[in-house]
Structure 1
Amino acid sequence: MFPEPWIERAWRAVPRAAFLPEVVWVVDGPTYRPLHRGREPERWAQLVDDPGQAVVTQVDDGAPDAAGGDVPTSSVSAPNAVVDMLAELALQPGQRVLEIGTGSGFNAALLAARVGADRVTTLEIDAALASGARRALLEAGYGGVTALEADGERGWAPGAPYDRIVATASVASVPWAWVEQTGPGGLILAPFRTAFCSHGLVRLVVSDQGTASGRFVGATTFMSVRGQRARPRIDAVFSAESWDASRRSRSAVDVDLLGTPHAEFAVGMRMADVAHWAQDGAHWWCGPDSWAFAAGDGTTYQWGPRDLADETAAALDWWDRAGRPELFEFGLTVSEHGHRAWAGDPERGWALGVG
């Protein structure tokens, strides 16, 4: 489980259970319900010990209703995901680290066990979570960590430059502040999503010229940073009138191929601002100003200035002609002027439409 000795030492030194609240949240049908440590100690302990299980510590930004919670908004990540990210950071003692998304404080403590508590700054946008993390860090012996209530998208300029910036929430656009606040040769590690497909961990190296570039090193899904939660909404563009005015054709999309993970990721990198989902054998697409629907029999309806089903077919064709590159062959370059995605060769990239 542990790819490096220091990670095992840190893991054994930092008690995960000490960073979990007395009440966590578990799926119960269509909602999340509270699980109290005092009432269900065995179930609570099982969540702590499961290496593949994230533990949801907050729902609905801390304001669930009496019936339960709808959306998880903070968690302690699954141990295997935490370990993988620590390995990708290639941390060395004494390096300065900025963490985006403190959550419970557990990951910040692991970082501190490697580089020193006074070398770690962690940012949490939620006031209640930030307060709880500071308390847990202090009680666990890592009170030297600088744990701040702040918007992580802005980074923390007073502590810059950093050797490492690591995000524990996904972004659809890497904030330029992160690049500016990372020293030359430093790393930025962040879960990255597109509206189409949300599962990539990107590892960027900051150059002397102030750009950041690197490959995707894993397939992972995290909750989004609060400022980047918005995605295209079908109810913003679809209506009975737009259905009547839609263009009808036969779908050219190979939906079986689209359902494979690497193909879906590739199409997402070509159509980053378009959401896609399957529904009862049919498929929907939704962009900022267009939508498309492919019925199970292949009949396709498209509306708006873009033909989203046709764009998907073209993206799949590009992926096939490119030799079907896997997620790990894709990369991202971030500059002051925007994002460029690429597969294989960074010099042959394309502008990534992100929001």
Structure 2
Amino acid sequence: MTTPTPRTPTPTPSDTDDTRRLRHAMVDAMATDGIRPDVVEAFRAEPRHVYLPRFVRRVEAAPGTWETRVFTPEHPDWAREVYTDQLLVTATMFGDDGPPLSSSTVPSLMAAMLDALAVEPGMRVLEVGAGTGYNAGLLARLTGDTNVTTIDIEPDVATAARHALTTAGHPGVRVVHTDGSHPPAGPRSVDRLIATCGVDHVPPAWLAAVRPGGRLVVPVGTGVASLTVDEHGHAEGPFLATPAYFMSLRTTAGTNTIPYPGDPTGPLEPCAMPLAAWHDDDLRFAVALALPASDLGQRDLPDALTLWTTDGSVATIHADGTCRQSGPRHLAHELADIHHDFDNAGRPGRRHHRLRIDPHGHHTATFTPTP
């Protein structure tokens, strides 16, 4: 497991008239129509800058030239960047230019997820993915500090989140360093669960932790599912309309790669799935629900797409409308069937999709035709 590069803590300025002005301007600029008033007020009150004493951004320094810039309170644009409706990377692997390890989510997406979570005062909330602690601080304003538990697999991230929450006035929020796939929550012990990391399959332990009538808001694929748990332990609900590209859940088990079984050996044949359709975001979302990325290897080239699965099935779709495939599954045909159903349903967006999960963790995704 890779951990962030240790850094000297950066002192964080207190809330000032200037940061309050910038915070209110950010909220005013966010699309908050239809968002619960208590959620909007939480964003107006919670000081995001306390959770972001240091972050990095890739910026275009000159046409075609990109560089990584580090922002701390000493940077003249630090507060303005903090209070812009954007994602900010707070921890990276292998130095500041490395892949992101932790971040602060786009505030408008956070607001949509918190609205869907429908937290009421006094509800017990479990958050998977503490990140900076900012989302836990917002949750604390909605339900009370001592009702919020947030967890993270990275010890340095959890420590920084705990410090930021205390600085922001939420010392009662419980921050736990642990594997997010096995949260410290007993069966049916929480009213709400929210994840700030992406999954292809909702871990059974998450579902089991939520009481009947409770709710989970979880990034699945490239969308966010809002699921209500029934008395039999099933969870079902729609996806939010907005796309969501979260960093994947990391576990102590690590990430398993799917070995490439070799090029397909079947005959060259016509393919009903045009290669260009693969780049349609709404179709890719539907495909990700049917063929989760954790179960699927992928190589995407300008003139061909190759997919493979753990059972040795492999298919290559070519730009000229042909394909080759081999193995137990005919992956090119499966993809063509999804494309056919998707087109016939009027190319439904995320909000037309629903997800149902049974107590054993079996996922069933469906979509309804668009008008």
Q: Calculate the TM-score normalised by the size of structure 2.
A: 0.80
Q: Determine if contact 1:104/1:129 at 8 Å carries over to the other structure.
A: yes
Please state how far the C-alpha of 1:117 moved relative to its aligned partner: 0.3
Structure 1 residue 221 corresponds to structure 2 residue 221: no
Alignment partners' CA distance in 1, 2:187 and 2:132: 21
- Flag the 1:190–1:27 CA change in 2: closer, same or farther, 3 A: farther
Q: Which residue of 2 aligns with 1:280?
A: 302
Out of 292, 312, 315, which is 1:292 matched to? Answer: 315
**Bigger helix fraction:** 1
Alignment partners' CA distance in 2, 1:38 and 1:340: 45
Alignment partners' CA distance in 2, 1:179 and 1:117: 23
Q: Determine if contact 2:55/2:89 at 8 Å carries over to the other structure.
A: no
Q: Which residue of 1 aligns with 2:145?
A: 117
Structure 1 residue 263 corresponds to structure 2 residue 283: yes
Out of 76, 84, 108, which is 2:112 matched to? Answer: 84
State how 1:83-102 maps to structure 2 within 5 Å.
83-102=111-130
**CA RMSD, aligned part only?**
2.6
Out of 44, 58, 61, which is 1:12 matched to? Answer: 44
Please state how far the C-alpha of 1:162 moved relative to its aligned partner: 0.9
SS of corresponding position for 2:181: helix
Please state how far the C-alpha of 1:30 moved relative to its aligned partner: 10
- Flag the 1:322–1:87 CA change in 2: closer, same or farther, 3 A: same
State how 1:322-341 maps to structure 2 within 5 Å.
322-341=345-364
Q: Which residue of 2 aligns with 1:351?
A: none
Please state how far the C-alpha of 1:9 moved relative to its aligned partner: 1.8
Q: Which residue of 1 aligns with 2:13?
A: none
Q: Which residue of 2 aligns with 1:313?
A: 336
User: What amino acid sits opposite 2:245 in the alignment?
Assistant: T
Structure 1 residue 136 corresponds to structure 2 residue 146: no
Q: Which residue of 2 aligns with 1:211?
A: 234
Percent of paired sites with the same residue: 33
Which deviates further from its counterpart, 27-36 or 169-178? 27-36
For residues 203-247 of structure 1, give each alpha carbon's deviation from its aligned partner in whole angstroms, at most 9, with x where no partner exists: 1101111221111123211111103874754xx2154xx36x453
Q: Determine if contact 1:26/1:56 at 8 Å carries over to the other structure.
A: no
| Stretches of structure 1 lacking an aligned partner (at least 5 in a row) | 194-198, 346-355
Q: Which residue of 2 aligns with 1:188?
A: 216
Alignment partners' CA distance in 2, 1:14 and 1:312: 45
State how 1:50-61 maps to structure 2 within 5 Å.
50-51=84-85, 53-60=86-93
- Flag the 1:8–1:325 CA change in 2: closer, same or farther, 3 A: closer
Please state how far the C-alpha of 1:174 moved relative to its aligned partner: 0.9
User: What amino acid sits opposite 2:271 in the alignment?
Assistant: S
Alignment partners' CA distance in 1, 2:254 and 2:335: 23
- Flag the 1:23–1:87 CA change in 2: closer, same or farther, 3 A: closer
- Flag the 1:335–1:158 CA change in 2: closer, same or farther, 3 A: closer
| Stretches of structure 2 lacking an aligned partner (at least 5 in a row) | 1-30
Alignment partners' CA distance in 2, 1:158 and 1:302: 45
The number of equivalent residue pairs is 328
Q: Which residue of 2 aligns with 1:103?
A: 131
Alignment partners' CA distance in 1, 2:67 and 2:147: 36
Please state how far the C-alpha of 1:297 moved relative to its aligned partner: 2.4
